[in-house]
Amino acid sequence: MISVALVTHNSQGFLPELLLSIDRQTMQPEIKLAIDDNSTDATVDLLNQNGFTVIPAHSSEKEIITRIAQNFTQVVIAAHEAGSDTVIIGDHDDLWHPHRIKHQHEILTKNHLVSLVASNGRTPKGSLRTTFPVPENFNELDLAGQWRYVAKHSIATGGACAIAPDRITTLNVPTGWLHDRWWSLRAVREQSMWIDQELVIDYRVSSDQQVGLDTAGQGSTAYWWTKKLRDLPSTALKMKDISRLISQTKEN
């Protein structure tokens, strides 16, 4: 069963075009879910009018990164509990290419060990791979090779991802992590990550985005270390999270 899973907050300016792009998919989902984070505009009405089940966000977290991750975790878990084995994740402001659902569902259907598909998308600067470059042979690398790369580079943009929730050990995301970053780390450690070069969305950029291309933190090794050293306490906590992840996957 296929679900579409969105997270929204005061999204009425973007939703009509997004919802139209979902309606135009060559393969339609059986379930359409949205977690709405306290919208005060017409967001919920638009979703209801377009066949979405809208669930209020449970998160009370004030820190925005953790709050976003908790909202996406909530909607994917809700889709899984509703019986979905393929969950197509969407940001509230992107446009989906007509073949997106069919394409990502086929990848998960043909590759039974894959839990997370990270596809590409068109951006004002080219593509998501322009900002988040990934080696062309990433899927052929062994665990050590994939891990060395993903430990320093973001390789998955949530709005262009699809997930098979029953193939990943847990969807829970530690405090301070974005959902797509943590899920990609876990998927790589569990050898269930798939990098897809297909363009499946138009990634739209707006001035009020909380996270996005401008906050990616990609770059050279020197740039990466400079960014980490700016916030040593947060970096230390994340290193502990990664150590626990490595220990868990070794035990499994």
| In-domain check, residue 162 | yes
| In-domain check, residue 124 | yes
Residues sharing a CB contact under 8 Å with residue 145, sequence separation 6 or more, in sequence order: none
* Cβ atoms 187, 193 nearer than 8 A: yes
- Mean pLDDT calculated for residue range 74-85: 97
- Mean pLDDT calculated for residue range 218-226: 50
Query: How many Cα atoms sit within 13 Å of 239 on the Cβ side?
Result: 8
| In-domain check, residue 201 | yes
| In-domain check, residue 248 | no
The count of structural domains within the chain is 1
- Mean pLDDT calculated for residue range 89-116: 97
| In-domain check, residue 223 | no
pLDDT at 240: 78
Nearest to 156 by CA among 125, 188, 113: 188
* Cβ atoms 117, 39 nearer than 8 A: no
Residue written as token pair 């084995």: 85
Note down the domain range covering 81: 2-218
| In-domain check, residue 206 | yes
Average pLDDT, the chain: 89
DSSP β-ladder status, 116-123 and 126-127: antiparallel
CATH number at residue 74: 3.90.550.10
pTM of the model: 0.88
| In-domain check, residue 238 | no
pLDDT at 224: 46
Is the confidence at residue 197, as pLDDT, over 90?
yes
| pLDDT tens digits for range 140-162 | 999 999 999 998 899 999 999 99
| In-domain check, residue 40 | yes
- Mean pLDDT calculated for residue range 198-217: 70
- Mean pLDDT calculated for residue range 46-63: 96
Top pLDDT among 250 and 74 is at 74
Res. 250 pLDDT band, cuts 50 70 90: low
Nearest to 11 by CA among 95, 89, 96, 93: 93
